[in-house]
């Protein structure tokens, strides 16, 4: 697996023509799986006419080729605080799936309703690497980080209003996590979290 | 109980003479309990020579008179995320005690070690009002707010380093709490939280 | 009264289908009063076709069931600095009404016209708990907090322009209030204030 | 009266020698009243040995020459929210006095204790120009601005802690004042407020 | 002249009906000049059908009644750094004119082209009070403040891009002005500056 | 390996007595390696008198017991932009060593002197996990992240002045890294980075 | 070459009529090359009907007259981190070309893919002045600044999301650059960078 | 002239031993002029005992070797707004002198006293490159940038109080300068400005 330069296209701010051109060049070069992030529905529809594109509206992810068989060491768990965090979580989850990981989803388990989180303790304890996605107070990363012994990749989201200041509140909260093993990526950067989770999950090599 | 103007002296930035003067006038006016916050140890020692001052070094609180018998409706629970939050927590706890409340302390139960918090679930569930004191990621308020059905007064602290930005991280986190029944006071404002807790605990009147 | 998880639906970012689904499940489970916050007019109109929804356009609150008889201890007073703060104030007021409180409204009594505020001194003095809603300089919470002896829940609003920075000015102002008994919720969080006011107003139990 | 370049020395960051040099040159040039702001006590003591310096410790203002007879149109009222704002207020008051104004002081009349402010309504109503000095929530400027019909110069102070962020809270609050006739100077800039107050009070000329 | 409460309507966020209602009540009460700020063109057109409204599109100011004869002491000079600052400047200028002031305009004299400013030195020196309107680096207030001996009311504008941060850059710059006699109002608050300028210009009374 | 709760003591804000007490209890409980972070030199000297403490002045890390044989999968590379970042880097490196990792150091290879970095390309390419420590512009994490295929843990430092704003500049820069596989911990949090690096390096188990 | 006052029109916020008027006056005054920045496509189309306008959509630059023969000392190199930075880069490049410079473009050479940058080392080393345009982490300026011996003008862009905060991240990063010879202009200010680059490239005079 | 890596030592945070070691190695390698910035007086005194160090207390610059004959194209003009900006200005000036430039100083010519600046118009017009150093409102860069036709390197300083926020006000102001040819370096970065000024002044080669 090379640095993602070849296989991942950041769709934001690229025209349909640019994306099609890059994709075709990659396919010609023998690339099998191509991940396109931040892809608008309209562009996806146009690309679908000429390319074998799968498109997921919630995460705004498109990919060319079939989802590979998972060949990582363990399971990547993607958890969210609320339902509004799902687009970012799905960006992480689908990224990890396209990169060959088995992914478990645990959505809407925010810390204000701890029982929902604790009801899934076994999934948390058995995950190989966890992506914790949350906006507003962002406490999910700390709580999960305190429970699990594996790396926790925290993704602050811009979900919220008022003093969430576009994700700043969750970002600061996650950076200040008192739990060990927690690190943070950019606000709304589901892709970055999914990619890193996959990298950790494949450090023993692709099976 | 009147607006605290009479009985509470904010010691910060006042000279020993000023504090002594105000206190003596109050005592003469028949006041029995006087609370002095943000009182330096040095000033406390000087005041002790002429006034019946009790002084607590950790909270930097001094009070004149004896601690009253608790006469509120229930128990005020003061919880902290870490040990470093204790000075602020004690400011809240002692304030509440001087104002006639029974206070329970639950310190160092930060969300990164959830079992410590859950081990005290009964204290949380039976409290009448809770003061949640935490720095860094400030997640304690949300977790407690989600567990308890009573008002939770969140106090962000300036404890931490780096991206805690002097308490800003905890403050934003607490303001964004997804748990209902949570409200917030100023960073390090243990007094304000203790005062409000006492107010709520006495709304049925002083017994 | 349980933690609001069951009875309150945060409508922002939920589809009409999702809201209808959750509501119907709640109703089937025997829930009588359901509060839906941040509900767009369009969604409300669709929901009205299949559900007994009352909808208030200003506060963007919908509720299923009839407004209950007020059964709290006293009166919840909701005050605003200006007329533009009314949507947030109504979110607080209606939330409190749906949760069984008698609510008084005192709108447009900002501190720049103190006489209007002072003309209602008796309402302020006789309230059991006060929600103070203000944008821009947010001074209302301090002034009311200084007059009243009951808990004051301050709600900063994003009303204003320039250096109000989306509610930051009012938020900071309210957090720094010199009046005791004042606590703060998130910018524009009328729901949170109304919920907490109701909680305090029902601490002696529902009559 | 020229732009203050000649008669005012900003003492911060200047050595005793520099201040003495500038002062002597001014005196030689016929200047009668020289105002030195932000002057440390130690420097003041050294300067006193060779120059006819009056020094006020609280405001850190020194002046050479005698206080002039007030020759402005009316009275400059300097009000503060708390006692800790007094150094900044005195910088304003003494500046105005040295520049030939009659000054009234109204200290510790913060809005959390509105009765103290209202007890002095006549002084507020009869002032010609008002300097309102306050830290923390800075509401004083709005309340006074709403009561009085004259220009109100608001001075935010760095007094406070936590979310006062070094005066930012009071500054934003004052800039967002809903009362007309209010303008703002830099945090802790008592000099600037006193100077402008004097300018307005002398617009009809020095009597 | 009373506190502007009666004669000025802040149009932002008010419906056409509300504005019409308030206006008619005022007219009935004998008010001759009514100023409506932040009035959208569409609302103005509707109001014109039933009220004798004059409307200025650039400043978004409407007024009822005729412009009064100027009866202030001197001239109010309104200056801007660029042409994009003109809407805010006109809000100040028209406000002052409706309130009975003679107004001079000096637009697009930003400090990057100092000769344009210096070419109008006599207007600057002879003004009775100056409103300095500028975005981006906001240096205009300092330069004019250094030249003139009269009060300078600085209005930062949100004109600019990038690190102007919606007017923050100009605001901070103006607050830090080294020139004496300068005070600041909120970003884009042309009305506040015009009102204060008029107040100062009428301190000797309306002629 | 459990969540570090047992084996790691955060020394900041703890008294020598508290640290000694916790350490002795841990030793008695059979713990062999105890890591104490943020330990002042003075406290370390006192602790050394009764405990078998090794102390490193630069990183302010103390540990009880002997450094274990490295038993992780590969090498942890710790790189810094400048020499001033070394205290934070050593906190990371020593943490990793105490937790059983082979650590390589690559200091002062900031991107302004790219040749120094490129001269060590083989160490970068062969590392199993990299900790990139940098203040000021924080570009090191991006450059290393672009070169290496392994996880890069970025640690912003508070080194710098002016617009580095206490590490904010490096923090934001690292969060915005365009290189995949990069995640970020709190400003100056060398411990957190070293702990996470060790966790990743031991995911195949301790050999 | 005079201060650009005459030859450059800042199109943002100017009407088509205003731009046409200024242009015609300039042409009449003998001006040959006129640069119009921030010109919308719609306005450009209208202007084209009466003026010999060349318009570039990406940079939103229009110019009247023919591109002059380059007469500067050397080559201006414009480099970007990503493709999304191209509009800003083209604003710089076209500005420089209109002002008489030979411009080389080196786009999408961000530091996360260092090999692409290093593949063009000779162009970097032989440039006379370099404009480095980058958003997000803004590391490009430091890396290029470390490689080249000529002045590097860094232009942060608002490209990015989340913690890029509208260009703040890149701005701070560039200001903190450890490489010597780097200076910074406003976020997205391609014009300013191109103008300064041209100024430096013509300091020996126009050939 | 190579990238300054060899000849310049950034003294902040380096021990006397480290500085001495690096210096001796450089001297041995044949280096004649070595510049040491941010050098404390105490360290300078120790270094003087073994090395031929010249030390300037105000700028905290030390250099080894003799000041070279100026061999640049023209004059580097260093200007400041106030006297408090002089340490930063001298860091720039001495850096430029050590690097072989003729330097003119124009101190305390802040824009609040424009006549002082205009009195030196010829020096401004004849400079080859200008370093404009100012704190507080930072308007100096814009005014000079508008007057001069040469590159202006703006250095914001941390001089000021209150809303100067450690140099942020001047920094933003300078970045937003409406004058063309102005670029900005970090707050208090006199060295960076002096280095870049020298680079521009030597682009025709060292004579
Ligand atoms: N306007 C609001 N602002 C903040 N929190 C809210 C609001 N409305 C509802 N909530 C909270 O959101 C919870 C329901 O969230 P959800 O499960 O996403 O519908 C409720 O229990 C409340 O605690
Ligand atoms: N405390 C102060 N804060 C802000 N500006 C001041 C202060 N004291 C004096 N000034 C200004 O500084 C100028 C004198 O500065 P200087 O020439 O450095 O002594 C005066 O004319 C005032 O405009
Ligand atoms: N330098 C540090 N920065 C942040 N967290 C730390 C640091 N050192 C230790 N910790 C965390 O603090 C916990 C111990 O905290 P305490 O119980 O207060 O000693 C450890 O388990 C770590 O997770
Ligand atoms: N894109 C731009 N960003 C910043 N300043 C610009 C830009 N384009 C032109 N300018 C400046 O604006 C001046 C013209 O402004 P104006 O007189 O409003 O057309 C020019 O001389 C330049 O200094
Ligand atoms: Mg963990
Ligand atoms: Mg609760
Ligand atoms: Mg009260
Ligand atoms: Mg008024
Ligand atoms: Mg002046
Ligand atoms: Mg990589
Ligand atoms: Mg270089
Ligand atoms: Mg110029």
Name every residue whose Cβ is closer than 8 Å to that of residue A77 and which is 6 or more positions away in sequence: A103, A104, A105, A106, A123, A124, A127, A129, A130, A131
Name every residue whose Cβ is closer than 8 Å to that of residue F82 and which is 6 or more positions away in sequence: F108, F110, F134, F135, F136, F159, G178
d(CA H169, CA E5): 35
Q: Which residues of chain D have pLDDT under 50?
A: 1-6
- Tracing tokens 């420097």 back to the chain, one arrives at D43
Q: What is the pLDDT of residues B82-110, one digit of tens each?
A: 999 999 999 999 999 999 999 999 999 99
CB A146 within 8 A of CB B113: yes
Order across the sheet with G34-37: list the strands.
Answer: G8-10, G34-37, G61-64, G53-56
Dihedral angle of Cα D65, D70, D76, D82, to the nearest 10 degrees: 40
At residue G14's C-alpha, the angle toward residues G13 and G17, to 5°, is: 155
Question: pLDDT tens string for chain G (207 positions)?
Answer: 343 434 899 999 889 999 999 999 999 988 888 999 999 999 999 999 999 999 999 999 999 988 899 999 999 999 999 999 999 999 999 999 999 999 999 999 998 888 999 999 999 999 999 999 999 988 999 999 999 999 999 999 999 999 999 999 999 999 999 898 999 999 999 999 999 999 999 998 876
Name every residue whose Cβ is closer than 8 Å to that of residue A13 and which is 6 or more positions away in sequence: G83, G84, G159
CB D71 within 8 A of CB D202: yes
Question: pLDDT tens string for chain F (207 positions)?
Answer: 343 434 899 999 889 999 999 999 999 988 888 999 999 999 999 999 999 999 999 999 999 988 899 999 999 999 999 999 999 999 999 999 999 999 999 999 998 888 999 999 999 999 999 999 999 988 999 999 999 999 999 999 999 999 999 999 999 999 999 898 999 999 999 999 999 999 999 998 876
Q: How confident is the model at residue C202 (pLDDT cuts 50, 70, 90)?
A: very high
Structure token digits, residue D195: 């100077």
Q: In the 8-state DSSP scheme, what is residue D172?
A: H
Structure token digits, residue B16: 């020993």
Instruction: Report helix, strand or coil for H106.
Output: strand
| pLDDT over 90 percentage in chain B | 82
Can you list the positions of beta strands (E) in chain F?
8-10, 34-37, 53-56, 61-64, 75-80, 102-106, 129-134, 152-156, 182-184
At D108, give phi and psi (nearest 5°): 65, 40
Residue in F closest to A127 by C-alpha: F203
- Tracing tokens 């380096």 back to the chain, one arrives at H14
Which of D123, D128, D127, D155 has the alpha carbon at shortest distance from D141?
A: D155
Residue G30 is predicted with a pLDDT of: 87
CB E202 within 8 A of CB E1: yes
Order across the sheet with C102-106: list the strands.
Answer: B102-106, B75-80, B129-134, B152-156, B182-184, C182-184, C152-156, C129-134, C75-80, C102-106
Chain mean pLDDT for chain H:
93
Is there an atom of ligand 4 within 6 Å of G10 CB?
Answer: yes
CB E88 within 8 A of CB E63: no
- D171, D203, D204: best to mutate for the E interface, most E CBs within 10 A: D203
With both helix axes pointing from N to C terminus, report the angle between H16-28 and H41-48 in degrees, rounded to the nearest 10.
50
Which of C196, C190, C197, C193 has the alpha carbon at shortest distance from C38?
A: C190
Whether residue H5 has pLDDT greater than 90: no
Q: Do the interacting molecules here have an ipTM over 0.90?
A: yes
| pLDDT over 90 percentage in chain H | 83
d(CA C145, CA C151): 8
Q: What is the pLDDT of residues H55-91, one digit of tens each?
A: 999 999 999 988 899 999 999 999 999 999 999 999 9
E141 at D interface, C-beta within 8 A: no
Judged by average pLDDT, the poorest of A75-84, B3-12, C76-85, E93-102 is B3-12
Largest Cα–Cα distance of chain D, in whole Å?
51
Instruction: Report helix, strand or coil for H42.
Output: helix
Largest Cα–Cα distance of chain C, in whole Å?
51
Q: What is the pLDDT of residues E29-66, one digit of tens each?
A: 888 889 999 999 999 999 999 999 999 999 999 999 88
How crowded is residue A24: how many other Cβ atoms within 10 Å of its Cβ? 14
d(CA E200, CA C175): 34
The reply to whether residue G163 touches residue A12, judged by beta carbons under 8 angstroms, is: no
| pLDDT over 90 percentage in chain C | 83
At D61, give phi and psi (nearest 5°): -105, 135
CB G171 within 8 A of CB G185: no
Q: How long a stretch of residues is chain F? A: 207
d(CA G136, CA G158): 8
Whether residue B206 has pLDDT greater than 80: no
Is there an atom of ligand 1 within 6 Å of C8 CB?
Answer: yes
d(CA E19, CA H206): 72
Dihedral angle of Cα H90, H94, H96, H97, to the nearest 10 degrees: 140
How crowded is residue A16: how many other Cβ atoms within 10 Å of its Cβ? 17
Ligand 6 centre to CA of B142 (Å) is 8
Give the number of B-C residue pairs with CB atoms closer than 8 Å. Answer: 88
The reply to whether residue D111 touches residue C173, judged by beta carbons under 8 angstroms, is: no
> Chain G partners of H195 at a C-beta cutoff of 8 Å?
180-181
- Run of H or E including B202: none
Atom 9 of ligand 3 has which residue's CA nearest to it? Answer: F10
Which of H44, H41, H88 has the alpha carbon at shortest distance from H192?
A: H88
Ligand 9 centre to CA of D37 (Å) is 18
Residue A1 is predicted with a pLDDT of: 37
Higher pLDDT, H10 or E207: H10
Q: What is the DSSP string of E92-128?
A: HHHHHHHTT-EEEEE-S--GGGHHHHHTTHHHHHH-S
Residue in A closest to C188 by C-alpha: A162
Q: What is the pLDDT of residues A165-174, one digit of tens each?
A: 999 999 999 9
CA distance G185 to chain A (A): 24
Which of B43, B33, B116, B45 has the alpha carbon at shortest distance from B71?
A: B33
Ligand 5 (ion): which residues have CB within 5 A?
Answer: A 145, 148, 181; F 3
CA A180, chain centre distance (Å): 21
Residue H3 is predicted with a pLDDT of: 37
Instruction: Report helix, strand or coil for H159.
Output: coil
CB G103 within 8 A of CB G76: yes
Structure token digits, residue A146: 């305190």
Ligand 1 centre to CA of D183 (Å) is 40
Report the pocket of ligand 2 as residue ranges, CB < 6 Å. Answer: D 4-5, 8-10, 37-38, 189, 191-192; E 180; H 82-83
Residue H162 is predicted with a pLDDT of: 96
d(CA D158, CA D188): 6
Q: What is the pLDDT of residues A87-140, one digit of tens each?
A: 999 999 999 999 999 999 999 999 888 899 999 999 999 999 999 999 998 899
Judged by average pLDDT, the poorest of B146-155, E180-189, H18-27, H71-80 is H18-27
Residue H95 is predicted with a pLDDT of: 96
Q: What is the pLDDT of residues F122-177, one digit of tens each?
A: 999 999 999 999 999 889 999 999 999 999 999 999 999 999 999 999 999 999 99
Q: What is the pLDDT of residues E98-155, one digit of tens each?
A: 999 999 999 999 988 889 999 999 999 999 999 999 999 889 999 999 999 999 999 9
B124 at A interface, C-beta within 8 A: no
Residue H178 is predicted with a pLDDT of: 84
Is there an atom of ligand 3 within 6 Å of F55 CB?
Answer: no
Atom 10 of ligand 4 has which residue's CA nearest to it? Answer: G10
Name every residue whose Cβ is closer than 8 Å to that of residue B174 and which is 6 or more positions away in sequence: A137, B134, B138, B141, B142, B154, B156, B182, B184
Residue A3 is predicted with a pLDDT of: 37
Residue in B closest to C149 by C-alpha: B3
d(CA F36, CA F9): 5
> Chain E partners of C113 at a C-beta cutoff of 8 Å?
3, 5
Structure token digits, residue G23: 């242009």
Q: How confident is the model at residue E96 (pLDDT cuts 50, 70, 90)?
A: very high
């Amino acid at each position: 697996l090379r640095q993602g330069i070849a296989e991942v296209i950041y769709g934001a701010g690229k025209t349909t023509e640019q994306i099609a051109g890059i994709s075709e060049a990659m396919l010609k070069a023998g690339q099998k799986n191509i991940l396109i992030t931040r892809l608008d529905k309209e562009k996806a529809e146009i690309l679908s006419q000429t390319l074998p594109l799968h498109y997921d509206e919630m995460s705004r992810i498109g990919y060319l080729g079939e989802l590979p068989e998972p060949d990582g060491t363990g399971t990547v768990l993607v958890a969210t605080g609320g339902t509004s965090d799902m687009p970012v979580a799905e960006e992480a989850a689908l990224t990890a799936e396209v990169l060959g990981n088995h992914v478990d989803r645990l959505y809407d388990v925010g810390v204000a309703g701890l029982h929902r989180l604790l009801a899934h303790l076994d999934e948390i304890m058995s995950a190989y690497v966890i992506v914790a996605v949350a906006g507003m107070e962002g406490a999910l990363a700390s709580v999960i980080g305190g429970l699990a012994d594996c790396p926790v990749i925290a993704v602050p989201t811009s979900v919220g209003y008022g003093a969430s200041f576009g994700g700043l509140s969750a970002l600061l909260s996650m950076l200040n996590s008192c739990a060990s093993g927690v690190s943070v990526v950019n606000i709304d950067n589901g892709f970055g979290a999914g990619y890193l989770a996959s990298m950790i999950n494949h450090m023993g090599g692709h099976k």
